[in-house]
Amino acid sequence: MHLVSIAMYATSQPLADATAELWSFLRRTLSQAGLEDLPETLDQSIPYDEAWLRPDLLFSQTCGYPFASRLRGKVRLVATPVYGHPGCDGPLMRSFILVRKDSPLNSLEDLRGTTAAINSPDSNSGSNLFRAAVAPLARNGRFFSRIIETGSHGGSIAAVIEGRANSAAIDCITYANIRRFGPEDVEGLRIIAETPKGPGLPFITSGYAPDERIRLLRRALAAAIEEPSLAAARATLGLIGFSVLSEADYEPLLSLAGDALPQLRA
Which among 177, 13, 15 is positioned nearest to 96, based on CA atoms?
177
Over range 234-258, report the average pLDDT.
92
Q: Are residues 178 and 222 in the same domain?
A: no
Structural domain boundaries enclosing 182:
92-197
Q: What is the pLDDT of residue 256?
A: 77
Q: Are residues 211 and 193 in the same domain?
A: no
Q: Is residue 185 part of a domain?
A: yes
Predicted TM-score (pTM) of this structure: 0.93
pLDDT band at 259 (very low <50, low <70, confident <90, very high): low
pLDDT band at 114 (very low <50, low <70, confident <90, very high): very high
Q: Say yes or no to pLDDT of 12 above 80.
A: yes
Handedness of CA 216, 199, 89, 118 (dihedral sign): positive
Strands in 167-171's sheet, in edge-to-edge order, are 146-149, 115-118, 167-171, 95-100, 189-194
| 115-140 tens-digit pLDDT | 999 999 989 999 999 999 999 998 88
CATH code where residue 99 lies: 3.40.190.10
Do 68 and 77 contact (CB within 8 A), yes or no?
no
pLDDT band at 28 (very low <50, low <70, confident <90, very high): very high
Q: What is the pLDDT of residue 264?
A: 52
Q: Are residues 178 and 220 in the same domain?
A: no
**Which of these three, 159, 179, 197, is where a domain ends?**
197
Q: Are residues 141 and 96 in the same domain?
A: yes
3-state SS assignment for residue 4? strand
Do 63 and 122 contact (CB within 8 A), yes or no?
yes
Q: Are residues 171 and 40 in the same domain?
A: no
Q: Are residues 48 and 62 in the same domain?
A: yes
